[in-house]
Amino acid sequence: MANSYSASLSGDDTTMRTNNPNSPTASTFVAGDAPDEKPDLEAGMAAEPQTATPGDGYVDWDGPNDPENPMNWSESKKWTNIVILSLMTIVTPLGSSMFAPGISRIMMEYHETSTIIATFLVSIYVLGFAFGPLVVAPLSEIFGRRPLYFWGNVLFTIFTICTALSNGIPMLLAFRLLMGLAGSVPITIGSGSITDIMPVEQRGRAMAAWTLGPLLGPCIGPVAGGYLIRATSWRWVYWLVAILGGLFIPFSWFFLKETYAPAILEQKTRLLQKQTGNKDLRSILSGQQNVKDRFKMAVVRPMKLLLLNPTVTIMALYIAIAYGILYLLITTFSFVYADQYGFDEGTNGLTYLPAGIGMMIGVVGFGQLTDGIVRRNKAKGLEHTPEIRLKPVLSVPLGLALPVGLFIYGWTTEKGVHWIVPMIGVAIFSAGLMGIMGCVQNYLLDAYPQIAASVTAAMSFLRSLLGALLPLGGLQMYDALGLGWGNSLLAFISLALIPIPVVFFVFGSQIRGRFNIKL
């Protein structure tokens, strides 16, 4: 940022630039009376040079190659941020299920026998993931991403310590809910940060790396948690998560950079106002409304997308059902494998490992495939459309993996087949889930890049809500239908969802054009 600015007047317009030609600067445009409208916001987002608009002074990027524009960052700077975000999104979901193998010990310690309480102890954390994004997303679109990452980490660590010190189930439930609320920050706005810095042909790989956290965390956590609980107590699960969360507090402060373009230009604007004394300067990406009104609008935006935009609604429902099934499996593994195969707490933790392995397979395969399709289309001179992310050659096989995995898991556990076979079924299900979630998430981010955080919040709300509520009936469903038909029911539901991406691949652009709601 330059240290001093000079103004050169020409007619009715004033163009302000830095005295130091080697310094990245913002351009502003100043003229007479205030206009009714301001320069186009999407043009500002795209980092295109602006022409003067009679009226206000607008602070913009210093041309298309401004190094302060996150899209122009070096690859190392971009991937440093993505790696930190990916690690953060692994740590916060660890708290959701890392102590699942010790549920029976907690129930005995507090003399509780309800199976609903047993599953709710795990799933209430995901309820925080459902409601947290409704506040986190709008805050990120007003104040930027970086402050939320830092303070979210601080609160997550504090609430985790309080959970470790809980002296009863009500206190345990309350602080697990608060952990979920604070831990929802990287899961909610991580996709927005990636959209801020990555071009569309590289976004699939970056999104796959980031998406791995919310799904992999709940699967690898119980592996360590099972043995940790057996060797010490369930409280040490939370002490370990608190230590990991605490480590990311300095990382998020010193290494994470702001990626949200409006927040960066707002900082430039404030510096320009201070240096020039011109309090009328405004960022070209700022809205006409004050912070209070912008927050109200941003809070409503995710729900408007979810309720009034069928593209977001149906796609979010697909992911929510699949995610809810995953959590139903996760919350019942410790009971199923203990009853069917006699696994103890330590060995029960290993039953979560196949889900993690399947997700890694899905990430490695999907991230490269989807970016490859985009790059090939660009090389052919074809215009990129969001629907390309839903090509049936990808979405149909990935969708089929869900019911196939569920059928294998359900009937092999029902018949007592060697435990490796149901674990293979879980791995197949998880690989398909990871792939289809990547298809859908990238599709929605390509379709609505300017409101990526709100789109993610809408998806996270429905996904986490079903992830918290579906498991509550898991054990009762298995009691009533058995493991075979219980999981077959889930498989038939997931089978019915397969045509959804195909429909949007064919008709998605028409649907989006017809339901272009005002946000």
Mean of all residue pLDDT scores within the chain: 80
> Does residue 169 register a pLDDT over 80?
yes
Question: 284 phi and psi, to 5 degrees?
Answer: -65, -20
pLDDT digits (tens, 9 = 90+) for 244-297: 999 989 988 888 899 998 889 888 888 888 888 888 888 887 765 566 776 777
Note the CATH number of domain 70-258+296-514: 1.20.1250.20
> Does residue 114 register a pLDDT over 80?
yes
Provide the residue ranges of all domains of the chain, joining segments of one domain with +.
Answer: 1-68, 70-258+296-514
Interhelix angle 169-197/200-231, rounded to 10 degrees, is 160
> Does residue 309 register a pLDDT over 80?
yes
pLDDT digits (tens, 9 = 90+) for 396-424: 999 999 999 999 999 999 999 999 999 99
Structure tokens at 218: 């709940």
Distance between the two ends of the chain, CA-based, in angstroms? 33
Specify the 3-state DSSP secondary structure of 282.
strand
Structure tokens at 126: 């995901």
Position 32 confidence tier, pLDDT thresholds 50, 70, 90: very low
pLDDT digits (tens, 9 = 90+) for 35-57: 334 333 333 333 333 333 433 57
pTM of the model: 0.69
Q: Tell me the percentage of the chain whose pLDDT exceeds 70.
A: 84
At residue 419's C-alpha, the angle toward residues 414 and 423, to 5°, is 95
pLDDT digits (tens, 9 = 90+) for 455-480: 878 888 888 888 888 888 888 899 99
- Residue 301 in contact with residue 189, Cβ under 8 Å? no
Q: What is the DSSP letter of 47?
A: T
- Stretch 304-313: mean pLDDT: 89
- Residue 336 in contact with residue 479, Cβ under 8 Å? no
Predicted pLDDT of residue 400: 95
Distance (Å, rounded) from C-alpha 107 to C-alpha 343?
A: 18
Greater pLDDT, 228 or 371: 228
The H or E element that residue 9 is part of is: strand 5-10
Closest Cα partner for 235 from 178, 172, 182?
Answer: 172
Question: 210 phi and psi, to 5 degrees?
Answer: -75, -40
> Does residue 229 register a pLDDT over 60?
yes
> Does residue 207 register a pLDDT over 90?
no
Distance (Å, rounded) from C-alpha 264 to C-alpha 268?
A: 6
- In order, the DSSP letters of 394-457 are HHHHHHHHHHHHHHHHHHHHHTT--THHHHHHHHHHHHHHHHHHHHHHHHHHHHSGGGHHHHHH
Worst-scoring range by mean pLDDT, 213-217, 279-283, 425-429? 213-217
The CA radius of gyration of the chain, in Å to the nearest whole number, is 25
Predicted pLDDT of residue 497: 94
